[in-house]
Amino acid sequence: MRKKWLSAGAVVGLGAVMLFASGYSVMANTSGYEAYKSAFTHTKGADSMASHVVWSLSDNGTKVLSGTADMKVNHAKQAMSMTAVVDDGTRTHTMQTYRQDGKMILKSSDSEVYRVMDQAPEWQHDGKAAQMPQAAEQVMEALMGNIKDLATVETGSDGTKEAELHLSGSQIPAVVNAVGSLIASKAGSADGWNHGAAVQGHLPAGHSEWKVSLPKLTDEIKVEQVDLDAKIGKNDVLENQSAEIRVTGKDAAGAAHLLTFQLNAGFSGYDATTPDRVDLAGKQTKKVDNGWERNGWNRH
């Protein structure tokens, strides 16, 4: 069965982890690369699975944004359920998402209305589902450079494996620094939180006033540290994936900032997970356009 776009989300929990997992897997040494690649392939190829994700974003040690996500995916049933919570330090917003009966259903904690849209398309190339377009994968591999020997994998006595890649300073590829700097500079801007038409209307009520206290970095922006760690189970699937990314820079007033992104994703219930369903009978519903059809990554 062709895996839908949700397989990527289930494996990594968040887009950020998917980007780094897809890009950095090519940087491992021969044994490390093969071990992680094999586990990643088996993980996203599972018929069903569950994931629990915890993440946070801090500025100079002060947490400014955090969240959790609990997801269940079953490819055989073409179903998914997820509850995501975001906390900005003053308020909490919850979003429930379901994929069932060929529809995507979204419910915000700020509304009693269930928004229903046609199923979002999968990312494809050559007629097959993929993590990202093939050309992007090839460009990513070419730009990462020759740092294959920096990743390590250790095998425990119980058959599990610990894979890690820790980069700092000059070890960090130029492309990672460029992308990281761009994201950091945009994060503190109002337009940096423009999620596109696909999710407009699903953000917290009065989201224009729902601001995140992130500084707008303008000078000396640099990715200082990237730490990626993964635990691979005896059955060659990912049990845990963690990441910590540190970016430094200065704002327009010359004040120095250290932005730290941390994420931990646990995976379980392989081939034994049934997503939750929502019964829309008697509930307020609203049909909405599928923004991904216009703005999604659906190119060959």
pLDDT digits (tens), the chain, 300 positions? 434 333 333 443 444 444 444 444 444 444 566 777 788 888 888 999 999 999 999 999 999 999 999 999 998 889 999 999 999 888 899 999 999 999 999 999 989 999 999 875 554 434 434 445 555 555 555 555 555 567 788 888 898 999 888 888 888 877 778 878 888 877 766 554 444 444 444 444 444 445 567 888 999 999 999 898 999 999 999 999 999 999 999 999 999 999 999 999 999 999 999 999 999 999 999 998 866 544 444 444
Residues 6+ apart with CB under 8 A from 31: 153
- 62-74 and 217-232 strand pairing: unpaired
Taking the model in full, what pTM does it have?
0.77
Whole-number pLDDT of residue 295: 47
- 48-59 and 128-129 strand pairing: unpaired
Residue 259, both tokens: 């932005």
| Coil/strand/helix, residue 75 | coil
Nearest Cα neighbor of 69 from 58, 57, 83 is 83
Taking every pair of Cα atoms in the chain, the longest distance, rounded to a whole number of angstroms, is 59
Distance CA 75, CA 273 (A): 10
* Backbone phi, psi, residue 263, to 5°: -150, 140
Distance CA 286, CA 92 (A): 24
Residues 6+ apart with CB under 8 A from 84: 67, 68, 69, 70, 94, 95, 96, 97
Nearest Cα neighbor of 219 from 248, 250, 246, 247 is 250
The four Cα atoms 121, 125, 129, 134 give a dihedral, to 10 degrees, of: -120
